[in-house]
Amino acid sequence: MKNNDKNKIIIFDTTLRDGEQSPGASLNTAQKIEIGRQLAKMKVDVIEAGFPICSPGDFEAVKLIAQEVKGPQICGLSRAIEKDIDACWNAVKYSKRPRIHIFLATSDIHLKHKLKMSREEALARAVSAVKYARRFCDNVEFSAEDAVRSNQEFLWQVVEAVIKAGAATVNIPDTVGYSIPAEFAVMLMNIFNKVPNVDKAVISVHCHNDLGLSVANSLAAVAAGVRQVECTINGLGERAGNASLEEIVMAIKTRKDLFNVHTDIETKEIYKTSRMVSTLTGIPVQPNKAIVGANAFAHEAGIHQHGVMAEKSTYEIMDAKSIGWQGSGLVLGKHSGRHALKQRLNSLGYTFKEKDLDKISERFKVLADKKKEIFDEDLVAIVEDEISQVIPVYKLDYIHTVSGSQTIPTATIRLRKGDKVIQEASSGDGPVDATYKAIDRITGLKCKLLEYGIRAVSGGQDAQGEVIVRIADAKGHVVTGQGASTDIIEASAKAYLNAVNRLLSPKAVKSK
């Protein structure tokens, strides 16, 4: 599909496809739709919603996103196989702007060891697949998997042939994160110079972060003339992840003097989208992450603080408000009413049905009794704690722990499963370990704790603690869970229980 604005960079978001392939990431269909709607609100151009042939669940998710998410093009991934293309079309066809995305490896290492195919056979397969997909729609994209390690003259042949066959977009992926920016730029400029019909299609890139260069390579590609960038929220993706959408978009916006291009992204939705994806996938954002990390706009050094107070531009090249980050202003207290709560949530970008607002209001009242001052971050934690929940098999009803330097740590846990109340106690190396063992006794699962992380949501001794855990069951299924509370043991129990409920949910979970 031709890009009529020569200076616009098309933002192709693959959080729901490549991003969900991150180890431990687990999204159900409702959560995918929620993220899809938020991506639309942020005005991404293309949403790659999934890989329809992969599973019935993936097919259904792509189909529902195509039906319910309005605005962006809705794309599905497909191998260069007719049955894949059929499944892809049957899922995305409900969108007003459907796209079929076909991929086939072009590097000799992939052709020899994975596909058992010659270059000639790969070229013929690519052309045939694009022609077949064009029977369904004009908006067909072709990706030359592992393009960076491909023979470059052969790659030029493939690009020319698939464009001639009808591909509206041709993607040049750095599938294994192998390239260096200067090298990648030269490679792309050669495609622009050597492929005679290159002006008939949009040239795209999809860079992985194995050497930490995915964003740098993507920006080098933009400078070389590429007009679509494939990326994910928070840089999620297989192995070390993908190019980070927020970093690419803000680099282009901040250095428009250098790039002389633009995106249509509503940048004030970036922070909210980042937090939503982090919460729903259960994958935390590292504190020093560019743009959306907790420390991205923090200044601790005295000389920095003095400079920022005198003039923000001394140490800040972006305004935090430009990404929708409101800082940690005091907003509410125990005497604040429901209307004030609703108004503040709206100002933070959240809207809820009355029944959902009721739940958040109850959580707020409980927190207000424990904390004198409630910050924006506290409200975000409450909201995320609510929206992160899968359909719970077990709910926390009661927790009591005993611990000390001369005491054997013990935990008593009471969970609700429907109308049934189950109570167990256990000892452990500490109160958290005892809590998790007691939960395992109730659920019958034997889970291994792979990762445990905790952070203070806001400042002060009465700050909420947010816990994120990653666990594996006996079959090797890996999930993450999140929980927040002013009591870190309770937050730990909530996070672990959230992960357990993910393991027990109908959606298939990933293996280690």
Per-domain residue ranges of the chain: 10-281, 295-322, 326-383, 395-511
Distance CA 121, CA 499 (A): 46
- Mean pLDDT (the chain) is 88
235: Cβ contacts below 8 Å, ≥ 6 apart: 209, 214, 215, 241, 242, 243, 244, 245, 247
Q: How is residue 448 written in tokens?
A: 């291994």
Instruction: Provide the 8-state DSSP code for 24.
Output: T
**pLDDT at site 326:** 64
| Sign of the alpha-carbon torsion through 190, 195, 201, 206 | negative
Give the least confident one: 178-182, 346-350, 401-405.
Answer: 346-350
Residue with more model confidence, 484 or 221: 221
Q: Which of 39, 26, 107, 111 is nearest to 75 (CA)?
A: 39
Per-residue confidence band for 49, with pLDDT thresholds at 50, 70 and 90: very high
Q: Mean of the pLDDT values across residues 330-355?
A: 72
Residue 119: which pLDDT band, with cuts at 50, 70 and 90?
A: very high
Q: Given this model, what pLDDT does residue 491 score?
A: 93
- pLDDT at residue 160, as a whole number: 98
Contact 55, 508 (CB under 8 A): yes
Between 354 and 45, name the one with better pLDDT: 45
Q: Could you report the per-residue pLDDT of 146-198, keeping only the tens digit for each?
A: 999 999 999 999 999 999 999 999 999 999 999 999 999 999 999 999 999 99
Please tell me the number of Cα atoms within 13 Å of 405 on its side-chain side: 0
pLDDT category, 310, cuts 50, 70, 90? low
pLDDT of residue 358: 84
- Whether residue 327 is predicted with pLDDT greater than 70 in this model: the reply is no
pLDDT greater than 70 at residue 488: yes
Query: Would you place residue 364 in the very low, low, confident or very high pLDDT band (cuts 50, 70, 90)?
Result: confident
| Mean pLDDT for the stretch of residues 132-150 | 98
* 408, burial (CB in 10 Å: exposed 0-12, middle 13-18, buried 19+): exposed
State the average pLDDT over residues 250-270. Answer: 97
pLDDT at 212: 98
pLDDT band at residue 296, thresholds of 50, 70 and 90?
confident
Helix (H, G, I), strand (E, B) or coil at 394: coil
Q: What is the pLDDT of residue 483?
A: 87
Burial bucket for residue 342 (CB in 10 Å: 0-12, 13-18, 19+): middle
> Residue 48 — pLDDT band, cuts 50, 70, 90?
very high
* Residue 301: band (very low, low, confident or very high) from pLDDT cuts 50, 70, 90: very low
Burial 313-340 (b: 16+ CB within 10 A, else e): eeeeebebeebbbbeeeebbeeebeeee
Q: Report residue 142 as tokens.
A: 């072709």
Instruction: Say what the pLDDT of residue 388 is.
Output: 55
Do strands 420-427 and 407-417 pair parallel, antiparallel, or not at all (unpaired)? Answer: antiparallel
Q: What's the mean pLDDT in 427-456? A: 93
Q: Is 309 a residue whose pLDDT tops 60?
A: no
At the second CATH level, the architecture of 10-281 is Alpha-Beta Barrel (3.20)
Mean pLDDT of 328-344: 68
The partner residues of 471 in beta bridges, in order of sequence, read 449, 479
Quick one: what percent of the chain has pLDDT higher than 70? 88
Q: Which residue has the tokens 């492929």?
A: 195
Q: Given this model, what pLDDT does residue 305 score?
A: 41
Is residue 202 within 8 A of residue 10, CB to CB? The reply is yes
Higher pLDDT, 371 or 143: 143
The verdict on pTM exceeding 0.85 is no
Structure-token pair, residue 78: 């497909």
As a three-state string, the secondary structure of 243-288 is: CEHHHHHHHHHHCHHHHCCECCCCHHHHHHHHHHHHHHHCCCCCCC
Q: What's the pLDDT at 334? A: 66
Determine the average pLDDT of the residues in 40-48.
Answer: 98
Instruction: For the chain, give the percent of residues with pLDDT over 90.
Output: 63
Asked if 135 contacts 100 with a C-beta cutoff of 8 angstroms, the reply is: no
pLDDT value for 401: 96
Whether the pLDDT of residue 281 is over 90: the answer is no
Distances in Å between the Cα of 430 and the Cα atoms of 58, 133, 166, 299, 426 are 40, 58, 62, 35, 11
pLDDT higher than 70, residue 280: yes
Contact indicator for 122, 109 with CB cutoff of 8 Å: no
Mean pLDDT of 49-77: 96
CATH 3.30.160.270 fits 395-511, yes or no: yes
pLDDT (average), residues 244-259: 97
